[in-house]
Structure 1
Amino acid sequence: MAKEIERKFIIDKNIWQPTGKTLPIRQGYLSTDPERTIRVRIAGEDAFLTIKSKGTGISRDEYEYKIPYSDAGNLLQLVAYPPIVKTRYKIVFEGKLWDVDVFSGENEGLILAEVELDSEDEVITLPKWVKYEVTNDARFFNSYLTAHPYKRWEENS
């Protein structure tokens, strides 16, 4: 078991410029239960099955397993909601690896950044393209976005 310690942020689209290595991602959820999520992800040429516990603060338990690509494709056909499609940019800033996800499809217009930490109290420097933090806002969990796409949020109409 691994402990995921992560913070999530909205990106200022007027400042951030796509840069770094990219990875196309398609993912869906076999379970979006708030107590645990079960995610199937195809990332580039790799595929994963991930189980995440309910978080406490910015931490949660995470179990991730590489699975055959064809199995992931079959499992994605079993998800209750359309898969999330996004392009991930890997950016190193101040010694930390940031994942910047540019969503497409029903979540187009949303750009989120995540950074994994070594401890809950780790202090980080935020890049200038970070607008504000949404770590504890469940609307920005991918498991929520799959059933409640960003494009359908009233404030985005």
Structure 2
Amino acid sequence: MILEQIRDIKQHLPTGRRLMGVDPGTKTLGLALSDLTLTIATPLITLKRTKLSKDVVELERLFREHEVGGLVLGLPVSMDGTEGPRCQSVRHLADSLNERFDLPIGFWDERLSTAAVERILVNEADLTRKKRAKVVDRAAAAYILQGVLDALAY
């Protein structure tokens, strides 16, 4: 079920299940997981995107393996607050996942999430460009998911 309000995700999340954060890019899907208490987001992996049907099969495997009960998709809203073609692509992904899985799905405005993570990786972790490229998508997914977890805590 696709939720209009992200705050509703908690009431639809099965007990003992995690949330998965997704940073959907055109070439990759950055993934992160919450802990069971819905307090901390941790980067998981970056999936290289292929065909949607193959991506969905791999996501299903990960849902089972990590006891995922709900999804948070980063929504790349424009700086002026409008939704462009990239948002339509994310919403299409959500529709495809909704058709296949009985999971609550919510969206989180991801404006500047990748830029914020890049700054952290450069300034605090002092990672090279090559090393940053390997972790930025899953770190951005964790950043997005942590935003939701923090909002749910209040």
Which is strand-richer, 1 or 2? 1
Which is helix-richer, 1 or 2? 2
The structure whose RCO (Cα within 8 Å, separation 6+) is larger is 2
TM over 0.5: no
> Which structure is larger by alpha-carbon Rg, 1 or 2?
1
